[in-house]
Amino acid sequence: MDYPLLDIFFTTMWLFLWILWFFLLFRVFGDLFRDDTVGGWGKAGWSVFLIFLPFLGVFVYLIARGQGMGQREVQRATEAEQDFRTYIRETASDTSGPGAHVDELARLAELKEKGHITEEEFLRAKAKVLA
């Protein structure tokens, strides 16, 4: 079989461009369907345009809405980070969860081991925590 090195290069390049094209197409569809400012008919219209004329549709989408793609992505990432931080803050400060009793009992056991409280005080405090 005769397959010159230049043909291997061009085949690799075309394969790379083909994969890159699909990434771009999926990115555009993802941005379109995550955007809350576009209504249902707008999304349907863009979808038809992207499906029947994919090259032209993607390029027109990037020209018309490309600048907002980055802004929307940054906004989504910021909101996700804020939600995550809020969840962590609420979880860490939650004293009614199952971990709260464990922490309190561990603190009481440590106080008893160090001799700061007696066995009787430990049992009363333990009963209070578990009640």
Distances (CA, A) of 88 to 75, 92, 113: 20, 6, 32
Please tell me which residue, 12 or 99, carries the higher pLDDT value: 12
pLDDT attached to residue 99:
61
What does the pLDDT read at residue 126? 87
**At residue 106, what are phi and psi to the nearest 5 degrees?**
-65, -40
- For the chain, the domains span 5-93, 96-131
pLDDT tens per residue, range 95-129? 565 566 777 888 888 888 888 888 888 898 888 88
Cβ distance 46 to 56 under 8 Å? Answer: no
pTM reported for the whole predicted model = 0.59
Residue 108 near residue 125 (C-beta atoms within 8 A): yes
